[in-house]
Amino acid sequence: MMKQLKVSELILNADGSLYHINLRPEHLAKKIILVGDPQRVPMISAFFDRVEYVRENREIVTHTGILNNVRLTVMSTGMGPDNIDIVMNELDAVVNIDLEKRIAKDEHSSLDIVRLGTSGALQKDIPVDSFGLSTYGLGMDGLLHFYKNADINEDKMTKAFIEQSQWPGNLASPYIIKGSERLAEMIGEGMTRGITATAPGFYGPQGRNLRLEAAHMDLNEKISAFRYKDQRVINFEMETSALYALGRMLGHSTLTICTILANRMNETYSKNPKETITKLIKLVLERITADHA
């Protein structure tokens, strides 16, 4: 007999929607675009042929609609791996748990989830206003270690990273998870590919100093110097490793593509960030719906 989930584990709102994301099954498409900024959701859905549902709770805003005969959901997550932990578990629950009976469904449904983010490049040769595709997510956040992870970590690459970077023992143990090759093939033509480092914060964890001094000021240089076969770390952001880890464990396809708004090595920043972000949105929407146009 299947285990019925407790009300304190699977938390639902009065209308039967998931507690944080405020969605029921009818609100969600199988192709999902995630963004951090809630204001970016209407920027993307403005390109839809029509919008069917608009849902909102806290920083999580969701629009579901149709573009080129393809049903799409665009959702904001807010910032950080902790928010990704909430969103990914609840998205999976929408499609793979019978919310009325509170039990997992016999048949698994897999989602295609593409995150469109912003990031800072960690290699001098990557220009501002270009696009970076995350072949792997390098987790500095420790989230994976809170789950029974079924050996999804890239152990050899992770070991090489720890050794080459002389990873500080008082930080969370790193992990490296691969993104979806299928989605990368569908969307990633002409983009810079490489490992994306996911930090659990924007300032100290990424080596920034305002009034507090970062404890490991040489960490960015060590991360950018890492090499494993043909892989290198191309950029810094705050969500990808959690997205890839939870996607793999839950059986969904995940991919991150980021606009390079800053180059941390060259100390440069985009002069037209909104223009670059809009260009990426149009490109990804075109490619993710191309087979159905």
Per-residue pLDDT, averaged over 151-175, amounts to: 97
CA distance 127 to 124: 8
Q: Give the model's pLDDT for residue 1.
A: 57
CA distance 184 to 264: 25
Per-residue pLDDT, averaged over 46-67, amounts to: 98
Name the nearest CA neighbour of 216 among 233, 203, 226, 234. 203
CA distance 170 to 153: 20
CA distance 87 to 19: 10
Question: Is residue 178 assigned to a domain?
Answer: yes
- Burial zone of 68 (CB within 10 Å; 0-12 exposed, 13-18 middle, 19+ buried): middle
Domain count, the chain: 1
Average pLDDT of every residue of the chain: 95
* Model pTM score: 0.96
Q: Give the model's pLDDT for residue 293.
A: 43
CA distance 129 to 266: 14
What CATH number does residue 102 fall under? Answer: 3.40.50.1580
- Residue 78 zone, left/alpha/beta (φ > 0; ψ -120 to 50; rest): left
Per-residue pLDDT, averaged over 36-57, amounts to: 97
CB 99 within 8 A of CB 24: yes
Q: Categorize the per-residue pLDDT at 149 as very low, low, confident or very high, splitting at 50, 70 and 90.
A: confident
The pair phi, psi for residue 28, each rounded to 5°, is: -115, 130
Question: Is residue 3 assigned to a domain?
Answer: no
Rounded to 5°, angle at Cα 46 from 41 and 50: 110
The pair phi, psi for residue 172, each rounded to 5°, is: -60, 140
Task: Tell me the per-residue pLDDT of 250-284, one tens digit each, with 9 for 90 and over.
Answer: 999 999 999 999 998 898 999 999 999 999 999 99
Question: Is residue 34 assigned to a domain?
Answer: yes
Question: Is residue 68 assigned to a domain?
Answer: yes
Per-residue pLDDT, averaged over 183-202, amounts to: 96
CA distance 121 to 196: 9
Question: Is residue 6 assigned to a domain?
Answer: no
Sign of CA dihedral 230, 206, 152, 34: negative
CA distance 7 to 36: 28
User: Helix, strand or coil for residue 38?
Assistant: coil
Question: Is residue 156 assigned to a domain?
Answer: yes
Question: Is residue 5 assigned to a domain?
Answer: no
Question: Is residue 17 assigned to a domain?
Answer: no
CA dihedral 135, 141, 145, 150 (to 10 degrees): -10
Q: Which domain holds residue 130?
A: 25-292
Q: Give the model's pLDDT for residue 3.
A: 86
Tokens representing 167 are 């990873």
Q: Categorize the per-residue pLDDT at 42 as very low, low, confident or very high, splitting at 50, 70 and 90.
A: very high
